[in-house]
A = this chain, B = another copy of it.
Amino acid sequence: MAELPIVRTIAGLREQVRAWRAGGLSVGFVPTMGALHEGHLALIRQARGLADRTVCSIFVNPTQFAPTEDLDRYPRQEARDAELLATEGCDLLFAPTPAEMYPPGFATRIQVAGPTDGLESDSRPHFFGGVALVVAKLLNQVQADVAVFGEKDYQQLLTVRRMARDLDIPTQIVGGSTVRDAHGLALSSRNAYLNDAELSVARRLNVILKQAGLAALSGAPVGQAEAQAAEALLAAGFDRVDYVALRRAEDLGIFPGDRLGAPARILAAAWLGGTRLIDNMAVE
């Protein structure tokens, strides 16, 4: 297993990508915030299947964290991440510093309406602006043929796809399936914050969402299925529920008349102590 090359500058990244392109190779890209788990590695494998060379970025992006959020305690473990990426056959790790990404005088912001409305934005109003900005930068830096984003962050995937299309960024945006543990818990870097008791509660999230989806499929009004799922999450031990929402999968639009239409997606965010977990799945 070859050691994974790491570049920390945009110039270094571009030099490597240019060399690949000159050799006629296509490029796949997986942007991450590090603290890699099996979910990320599945995206790397997916990218490897779509292009000749694969770039992974690790950058804990300050512009998508609010001052009250967990930017400082977000897990950072680059050496371990680099080993995992090498094992998966990733070809290059791009790990820029905040100063490389946001140099003095930085003055540009991006807003995406539509898919960013409600849900995550209700709790984290600056989140998708920060995500759209850093992803636009990363996509322009890497100039990949294809970039893979996890469906775990479903609203983020739709936001990135909309932004990339609107700004004509010439990289195809592809979604990657959520990886779950044996109990169905969606893998997340933030699961590392959970103690054993919280982990048992967290594993109820996917089950309750699945049940709510089935209830709506069986004819329950959308609002009722959502409310019952929120109650079930609190009963299971979650401390607070930000939202449970059954939405149009395509654009997260609300179903008219409180009746499910197809294709649908159920999405939720809930708190366990100081940890906020999200999950979502197709309803079918």
Contacts and interface: CB of A to CB of B under 8 A. Distances in A.
Interface of A: 10, 14, 105-116, 132, 136-137, 140-141, 143, 162-163, 166-170, 251
Contacts of A111: 108-111
Nearest to A137: B168
Given A110-B111, A137-B166, A141-B168, 12 more contacts: A14-B170, A105-B251, A107-B166, A108-B110, A108-B111, A108-B112, A108-B113, A109-B113, A111-B111, A140-B140, A140-B167, A140-B169
A105 B110 contact: no
A170 B140 contact: yes
A118 to B, nearest CB: 14
A14 B145 CA distance: 14
A10 B112 CA distance: 21
Contacts of A108: 110-113, 132, 162-163, 166-167
Contact of A115 (B10, B14, B106, B107): B107
B105 A162 contact: yes
B112 A162 contact: no
Contact of A106 (B106, B107, B109, B166): B166
30 contacts: A10-B168, A14-B170, A105-B162, A106-B166, A107-B112, A107-B113, A107-B114, A107-B162, A107-B166, A108-B111, A108-B112, A108-B113, A108-B132, A108-B162, A108-B163, A109-B110, A109-B111, A109-B113, A110-B110, A110-B111, A111-B111, A136-B167, A137-B168, A140-B140, A140-B167, A140-B168, A140-B169, A140-B170, A141-B168, A143-B170
A111 B106 CA distance: 11
A105 B113 CA distance: 9
Contact of A137 (B113, B114, B167): B167
Contacts of A105: 114, 162, 251
A145 to B, nearest CB: 12
Nearest to A166: B108
Most buried by B among A108, A112, A115, A143: A108
Contacts of A112: 107-109
A133 to B, nearest CB: 8
